[in-house]
Amino acid sequence: MRYLMALWLAGCIALGAVTASCVLLDQEESTAGFFLLVAVVLLSLLDSFISSVIFSVVGAALLNYFFTEPINSFGISNTADLFSLVAFLVTSLAITTLVRRIGRIEKTQRAQAQLLELTHDIIIVRDKNDVITYWNQAAESLYGWKKEEAMGKFIDELLRSVFPLPRDQLQQIYVRDGQWEGELIHTRRDGTEIIVTSRWALQRDGAGNPLATLETNNDITERRRAEDLLRKSQAQYFAEAQKLSRTGSFGWNFSSGEVFWSEQTFSIFEYDPAVAPTIELVRQRMHPEDIRVLEELLAQASGSSADFDIEHRLLFPDGRTKHLRVVAHATNDQPNNRLLIGAVMDVTGAKQTEERLRHAQSELERVSRVTALGELSASIAHEVGQPLSAIVTNGEACLRWLHRQPPDMEEIEGCVRQMTDQANRAAEIVQRVRALMKGAPPDRAPIAINDVVEEAIAVITRDIERQCGLLTRRLASGLPLILGDRVQLQQVLVNLITNAMQSMASVSGRRELIVQSRLDPEGNVVVAIKDSGAGIQEANLPQLFEPFFTTRSSGMGMGLAISSSIVDAHRGQIWASNNPEGGATFSFSLPPAMTQEVVRK
Ligand code: ADP
């Protein structure tokens, strides 16, 4: 309000001054009216409509008072003066309103122009001749050219623009559509090149002729660089992965005949990547025996949509072959545009490994057949060997008794009886082996283990007498029966007792062999053969029961292996340990007949 009062006062003084000057200079009403009008218009610029009204009224009043008849009075004597005063008032109000409106428009425009300065987008206005007429702050900082340097310059020259298509062609499209959007390369003041996305909007005059262009640009140099880098590194990873997996990719456009190969495909086919890939190149590398695979694939792929998974070989000029697996898919990406896209894997290594594995397997089968045969013959030799040597021993004894004078018929009979028994046993073993070969199951009859122990001792009684100082039986009475094969269990006992005697033969001093039978806490029948021999070396303990493991120069290493498989077949266990006082104990346990029955049910 204070501002308004001051303005109005100053305005009235100014108008007074103008009037006074005109009076003093003895000017006419029209001249004074003109100067007052100018003064009113200028004053009106300083404020709103009310001020213009006040100044216009004051101006008209001063004109009336000092220049219309009667002078120095507010009266009006003729109508013409009244008209000129009204005309002054109307003109003054009209002009001041107009001037104020123009001022407002200008203000708005200035504000809008300031807003354009605030944006980070580059805004350039150019006239129909592409001469720059507006250049915002962002354009200054991006291109390095100041507004005053850029204004009036031909834009394509200043920015050394590089267009994605010929300039004339681009202009035609732009004028036709009234807008254009694309990427441009510009050069900055310092000479560096940048990539911008550029949007152009065309302003036309009333007749539709181009008038000006509003161009907004965005700097995408960094983004493009990052994208390029990413693309490059992705391509690099892809190439590396293809190399590692020995997998290449390919594409074939049936319509255009275009063929694409990845770097790895070139390396699989062993062609220079500079060569343009063709189907003919593939044909040249195909193994002659597999060439029909390619022909079939091509025939099928050009037909309906299909998936392929095939294997074939390549034959190189130096005679090398490669095995390839090709997985491909034929499809139409657009009607009439047929594509075959796929991957080709070098599976030569895998094929060779497979081949080696197959070879190793058949070798293993052959070896195990030989081993099984060896084991079997060793087992027959070993098991039949025992009764045969017993027969020989008995035969010799028999001869000695015969040559006595008089011959001891009782001893001879005993010997012959034992020889018959042992021959029967050998025959029985051979029969068992035959049954085994035929796959017949072993005998399963209830047996008292102590009987088996006695029978086994009887078989080798002469050996025992010759080699062993003392044989002690500690056989528990009332043991449960076990279910088993009498002859096989005899074999186990003969083996264990023979081993014990052999071990004791290597040491001097007192020799004692204890054969024990007992019941363990779980109710199993246990038989143990304890000797006072050399004992077992700790390192050998884990391998004792393996076939062909032996520490004896004349040993075959089959006795314990056979014993172990017999005990296993009887659902029992066999083990060995060293005695604290020296020597070793070999034991085996067998489940009682009852449990086996239950298990069998
Ligand atoms: P072989 O008697 O032909 O060597 P075995 O399978 O019967 O084959 O025995 C394997 C090995 O176990 C023997 O070479 C020996 O080292 C060891 N062995 C077997 N029984 C005894 C024992 N009672 N005391 C010490 N070592 C033994």
Q: Quick check: 369 pLDDT over 70? A: no
Q: Quick check: 157 pLDDT over 90? A: yes
Mean pLDDT of the chain: 86
Give dist(CA 46, CA 51) in Å, integer.
Answer: 8
Helices (H) and strands (E) in the chain, counts: 19, 17
Provide the pLDDT for residue 480.
95
Provide the pLDDT for residue 431.
76
Question: Whose CA is closest to atom 22 on ligand 1?
Answer: 500
Provide the pLDDT for residue 475.
95
Provide the pLDDT for residue 569.
83
Q: Quick check: 532 pLDDT over 90? A: yes
Burial annotation 242-265 (CB, 10 A radius, 16+ → b, else e): beeebbbbbbbebeeeebebbbbb
- Which tokens belong to 18? 């103008």
| pLDDT confidence tier of residue 598, bands split at 50, 70 and 90 | very low
| pLDDT confidence tier of residue 433, bands split at 50, 70 and 90 | low
Q: Which atom from ligand 1 is nearest to the alpha carbon of 529?
A: 23
- Coil/strand/helix, residue 546: coil
**What separation in angstroms does the CA of 269 have from each of 39, 240, 266, 323?**
95, 17, 5, 11
Kindly report which listed range (201-205, 378-382, 384-388, 526-530) carries the lowest average pLDDT score: 378-382
Q: Quick check: 418 pLDDT over 50? A: yes
Provide the pLDDT for residue 124.
93
- Ligand 1-lining residues (CB < 6 angstroms): 495, 499-500, 503, 531, 533-536, 544, 549-552, 555-561, 584, 586
Candidate of 544, 562, 564 to mutate for ligand 1, largest count of ligand atoms within 8 Å of Cβ: 544
**Residue, of 486 and 431, whose pLDDT is higher:** 486
Beta-carbon contacts of 24 under 8 Å, excluding residues fewer than 6 positions away, are none
Q: How far is the CA of 396 from the centre of ligand 1 (A)?
A: 28
| pLDDT confidence tier of residue 578, bands split at 50, 70 and 90 | very high
Q: How far is the CA of 526 from the centre of ligand 1 (A)?
A: 20
Candidate of 560, 563, 577 to mutate for ligand 1, largest count of ligand atoms within 8 Å of Cβ: 560
Give dist(CA 427, CA 389) in Å, integer.
Answer: 14
**Residue, of 354 and 343, whose pLDDT is higher:** 343
pTM beyond cutoff 0.95: no
Range with the largest mean pLDDT of 254-263, 427-436, 472-481, 551-560: 472-481
| pLDDT confidence tier of residue 175, bands split at 50, 70 and 90 | very high
| pLDDT confidence tier of residue 310, bands split at 50, 70 and 90 | confident
Range with the largest mean pLDDT of 95-99, 367-371, 441-445, 574-578: 574-578
Q: How far is the CA of 512 from the centre of ligand 1 (A)?
A: 17
3-state class percentages of the chain: helix first, strand second, coil last, to nearest 5: 55, 20, 25
Provide the pLDDT for residue 439.
46
Vertex 575, ends 573 and 579: CA angle to 5°? 145
| pLDDT confidence tier of residue 546, bands split at 50, 70 and 90 | confident
Give dist(CA 193, CA 416) in Å, integer.
Answer: 117
Q: Quick check: 436 pLDDT over 60? A: no
Whether omega for the bond prior to residue 406 falls within 30 degrees of 0, making it cis, is yes
Q: Quick check: 597 pLDDT over 50? A: no
